[in-house]
Amino acid sequence: MELPKAVESWARKTDAAEVEWARDAVDSWAREREFPQPFSWGEAEAAVLAREYPPLPGSLVMRLVGVVAWVLIAVLAVPTVGGAVVGFAAIAAAAQDGQDAANGWLSPATVLFLFGLVSVGSMLSMWWETRRRSPMLLAVAGTSALAAVASWAVLALSPVSAEGWLPWLIIATALVGAVAFLLGAFSKPEGRAKRRKPPRRGPRGDKRARAAKARQRLLEVVLDRGLVYLDEADLIRVGEMPLGYWNELDGLSDREWRRVLERRHVGWREFDAKG
């Protein structure tokens, strides 16, 4: 999907401004600063993260674009993942309005329950491949089955009669949802126990990307000045470390250096990282 030209223009302008800011913010002092020897990774990074982050052209527009994108995703996900729930709301509205106005609600309910059936069917297919329980499986399957049973009860107790595919879709959604929920409930949880993660450091929000660019520029400068020596692989790994954790490279033996960079054991000084 292509973005509107105006949005693309603002994105390019924002990225260019971030790169230019990183050069200005870092080069002005990094090329003249007397760094301690041996080189202190933590001190150098802290100086970058302490920089000011003035507003850049296009940053507000891109933030609004991100908010709109998430809203659109949520709007599209509701009738897809929660089709049975929205379908139940449509059936309840049809029962409230009576038979004369019911078709205006039951036709959308048919489509929504089709989405709901596809959704729980997809969850069941995913369970069949992994044989593991996931929170998404339980949530989608459970709510879909309950919504289908509630919809059937509303239709049975109201004077509104549903014709065509709707009754069959309701029954199928209830059965498939119940089966998926029960299979998931009696399965083992998916994946391993989550590892503890070191806390996030450094700037937040859109400033974080700019701080990463500034730190990358610092890395280029200190390499150019010959203050550190990194092979190509380590250069990439150091640049990919989470913000605020360069201090873990200070005072390491060669073995510890390999552990932090190659195995990405970031945060090992705060707690033992399990491999």
Do 85 and 171 share a domain, yes or no? yes
The domain boundary, picked from 159, 189, 219, lies at 189
**Which pLDDT belongs to residue 182?**
92
Which range marks the domain in which residue 37 is found? Answer: 5-53+203-262
Residue 162 has pLDDT above 60, yes or no: yes
Nearest to 238 by CA among 209, 210, 208, 266: 266
Rounded CA-CA distance 8/24 in Å is 24
Please, what's the largest Cα pairwise distance for the chain?
85
The domain boundary, picked from 157, 189, 221, lies at 189
User: Range with the lowest mean pLDDT among 7-11, 61-65, 140-144, 259-263?
Assistant: 7-11
Residue 136 has pLDDT above 70, yes or no: yes
User: Range with the lowest mean pLDDT among 23-27, 144-148, 173-177, 179-183?
Assistant: 23-27
Banded model confidence at residue 202, pLDDT cuts 50, 70, 90: confident
Do 35 and 100 share a domain, yes or no? no
Residue 12 within a domain: yes
User: Range with the lowest mean pLDDT among 19-23, 102-106, 146-150?
Assistant: 19-23
The domain boundary, picked from 189, 221, 238, lies at 189
**Which pLDDT belongs to residue 270?**
52
Residue 68 within a domain: no
Do 137 and 108 share a domain, yes or no? yes
C-alpha 271: how far from chain center: 26
Do 180 and 87 share a domain, yes or no? yes
Q: How far is CA 239 from CA 62, 109, 156, 242, 257, in A?
A: 25, 51, 63, 8, 14
Residue 6 has pLDDT above 80, yes or no: no
Banded model confidence at residue 273, pLDDT cuts 50, 70, 90: very low
Do 143 and 243 share a domain, yes or no? no
Residue 271 within a domain: no
Do 152 and 242 share a domain, yes or no? no
Q: How far is CA 182 from CA 126, 135, 213, 216, in A?
A: 14, 13, 48, 50
Residue 63 within a domain: no
Q: Rounded to two decimals, what is the model's pTM?
A: 0.50
User: Looking at residues 73-101, what average pLDDT do you find?
Assistant: 78
**Which pLDDT belongs to residue 63?**
65
Task: State how many domains the chain has.
Answer: 2
